Amino acid sequence: MANDLASAHSSYLRSAAHQPVAWRQWSEASFALARQQNKPILLDVGAVWCHWCHVMDRESYEDPQLAELINGRFIPIKVDRDERPDVDSRYQLAVSALTGQGGWPLTAFLTPDGEPFYGGTYFPPSDAMGRPSFRRVLESIAQAYAEQPAEIKESARRVMEALSGMEQPPAAETALSPALLDRIFEAAVRTFDPVNGGFGHAPKFPHPAILDLLLDRCRRRNDMVAGNIAFLTLDKMARGGMYDHLGGGFHRYSVDEHWAVPHFEKMSYDNSELLKNYIHAAQVTGSRAYAGVALDIMRWVDAWLSDRERGGFYASQDADISLDDDGDYFTWTREEARAALADADFELAADYFGIAARGPMHHNPEKNVLAARESAAEWAHRRGLSEAEAAAALARIKEALYAARLRRPAPFVDRTIYASWNAMFVSAYLEAHHLLPLAANDAERQRLEQGRAFAQRSLDRLLAEITPGRGLRHALFAAPHDGAEPRRVEEAVFTLDDQVFAALAALDGFAATGAPRYFEAGRDLAELCLRDYAAPEGGFTDLPRGASAPLGALAATRKPLQDSPTPSGNAAAALLCLRLAALTGEAKWRETAHATLEHFAGAATAFGIFAGTYGVALQVYFAEPLEVVILDGGDGLAPALAAEARRDFRLGKLVVTLPAGADPARVPAALAAIAAYAPDGGRRSTALVCTRGACQPPVHAPDELAGQLAALEVHDDLPIVAP
């Protein structure tokens, strides 16, 4: 039987087009067929970067005999979790409720109406690892569905009932107060690993939002407990194997608590948020090391994850070349490293990166993950090298190893353009421009300047895809294949995340350029969120309300609060409203932010560090606002004023550059009121600093602006230094 995946937009779905399973895509027609034939649905949810998804594909879905069983007894539907986060998130919750486990591949069994009644993740072809064989599972489910239809239907009803209430927060018994911030901070302290950094034990994931909250707490309060947690975590991640020391960028997570052995896929949304972390750490400390990691993330993105011709950021890079390896592209045997390096450099590389005869990779014990056991300064001291000698040696070693790696077949890059993930990277690249004061040379300054220009081009491409009255589709352009041009995805889901993160990116674009079209786009998308996603009782739903009749578990209302794996849509919506409140002075935006934060106050702290973005929104809500308006007088001094204003990290700080001759009618009202304080009508480049409802005297020189900003800081006089 043929399946209908060859024409799919998704790279993951197209990779299964050759399978003998009669896969169908998620659609009303697929559900109608299940109802017509009264067959249960086998739902497979995975991703192109997912190693175990491909393993199960090869072991089970490419088996003709198993395919015959599936095709005869089930309606099989395959879904790409990146393309359909709405489908994935609901069935993940359902399967977790049923079995206590989730992840990818997600294997769920549904009634013809799409209601889940059983599921799991990876099932082996024969009984193994404490898991039943997939054939045994399929036969048992088919038999139960045929012989116990009433029990199946009742079980599915109970799951759907539970799913509908799973993310509805309880009535807020906790007052909306700064004490909530302390409770989120306490959760970070409680789960912090003081030896290895990060939170919890294996497997260990980065938590970018909580790191930003800790960096801000360190900066505002000179709280070195918060600072040490953030700095140790960032240091250990950047030294460990989760960081790609040759190509730049971070793998998705570490399978161990030491950050030593990663899952090797690289995701857009991880790297955009980690890029912000290292930018902010560099701003807080002035550390060139943190700035270097940020620039290295950009180097990888520029080379591998960017549409340099049109603008835009791709979705991910795979871990593997084939099912027979596990990160082989990224790992090294001693012989491979020796062949790439001069003898003296090999000895240095083996010492610095721990390249041993036996490595940690179970499938090939000779393979090593490159990870630094100590800082470059510590290594230089132990080896008796000057810091300059050590830096030159490491640069030479990395360049030679990377050149050798580039000669290997590279893992697949999914060149799908997703709206929310692109918006997150636009914001990160615009923030990277704040590192200009720390740039060490012309090459770094050029990368930052080009990064800002690329972010603006990507933002223009993103906003050009807005559908009037509906906003942005999640999947904008399908991954091209067979040398074809990118295909616009016409029929795609619209989600809260896409609208909110695009609106935030547009406002970041406005702050950087003063171009009114960016402010207007951000405001219009926020208005759309109020109209289509805001729930009457509070909070925002992940899908627009009042859409067409939902399929299956999409009938369950979700109000996502936790950061998993991307920042919380509701917390980001609150941040968007707070940003618009500062720009416009309109009360409705702050009132909406208050209502959203209050709606989740009774539930947020139960999420601990997974409520990091909610904590960020709380901090911005309760902190004294700080606004810096730069009026460009056309004398060439505005960039230096803007660089000074953006030098330090502070959550919620608003820095906006308004170009010379800006149309007052298109300047947000609150900014226009601030700009009115400028002498001479803004004919000289001027900086205006406003907080607590009052503005400082206008200044025209960066050192004067630095003095004003320093005087407004409220913390102990102890220096903030990274360990």
Q: What is the pLDDT of residue 175?
A: 80
Strand, helix or coil at 294?
A: helix
pLDDT category of residue 23 using cuts at 50, 70 and 90 = very high
pLDDT category of residue 678 using cuts at 50, 70 and 90 = confident
* 8 A C-beta contact, residue 208 and residue 233: no
Q: What is the pLDDT of residue 254?
A: 97
φ, ψ at 302 (rounded to 5°): -60, -40
Q: What is the pLDDT of residue 528?
A: 98
DSSP secondary structure letters along 568-629: PHHHHHHHHHHHHHHHH--HHHHHHHHHHHHHTHHHHGGGGGGGHHHHHHHHHHHSPPEEEE
pLDDT tens, 240-261? 999 999 999 999 999 999 999 9
* Average pLDDT of span 589-612: 95
Q: Evaluate if residue 722 carries a pLDDT over 50.
A: no
Which of 117-126, 162-171, 590-599 is the least confident region?
162-171
Q: What is the pLDDT of residue 504?
A: 98
Mean pLDDT of the chain: 93
Q: What is the pLDDT of residue 714?
A: 53
Q: What is the pLDDT of residue 172?
A: 58
As its CATH architecture, domain 11-166 has 3-Layer(aba) Sandwich (3.40)
pLDDT category of residue 483 using cuts at 50, 70 and 90 = low
Distance of CA 305 to the CA centre of its chain: 14
Q: What is the pLDDT of residue 101?
A: 86
pLDDT tens, 532-554? 999 999 999 999 987 777 899 99
Supply the DSSP symbol for 427.
H
Supply the DSSP symbol for 316.
E
pLDDT category of residue 384 using cuts at 50, 70 and 90 = very high
566 vs 680 pLDDT, higher one: 566
Strand, helix or coil at 630?
A: strand
pLDDT tens, 130-182? 789 999 999 999 999 999 999 999 999 999 988 887 777 776 567 899 999 99
Q: What angle do CA 376, 380, 384 make, to 5 degrees?
A: 175
* Average pLDDT of span 111-137: 92
* 8 A C-beta contact, residue 644 and residue 223: no
pTM of the model: 0.96
φ, ψ at 339 (rounded to 5°): -65, -25
pLDDT more than 90, % of the chain: 84
Q: What is the pLDDT of residue 130?
A: 77
Q: What is the pLDDT of residue 171?
A: 65
Q: What is the pLDDT of residue 127?
A: 86
278 vs 662 pLDDT, higher one: 278
Strand, helix or coil at 154?
A: helix
DSSP secondary structure letters along 39-100: --EEEEEE-TT-HHHHHHIIIIIT-HHHHHHHHHH-EEEEEETTT-HHHHHHHHHHHHHHHS
- Cis-peptide into 668, omega within 30 deg: no
Q: Evaluate if residue 102 carries a pLDDT over 70.
A: yes
Q: Evaluate if residue 507 carries a pLDDT over 70.
A: yes
As its CATH architecture, domain 626-712 has 3-Layer(aba) Sandwich (3.40)
Q: What is the C-alpha separation between 336 and 333, in angstroms, rounded?
A: 5
Q: Which residues pair with 658 in a beta bridge?
A: 631
Please state the domain extents for the chain.
Answer: 11-166, 197-305, 334-406, 414-517, 626-712
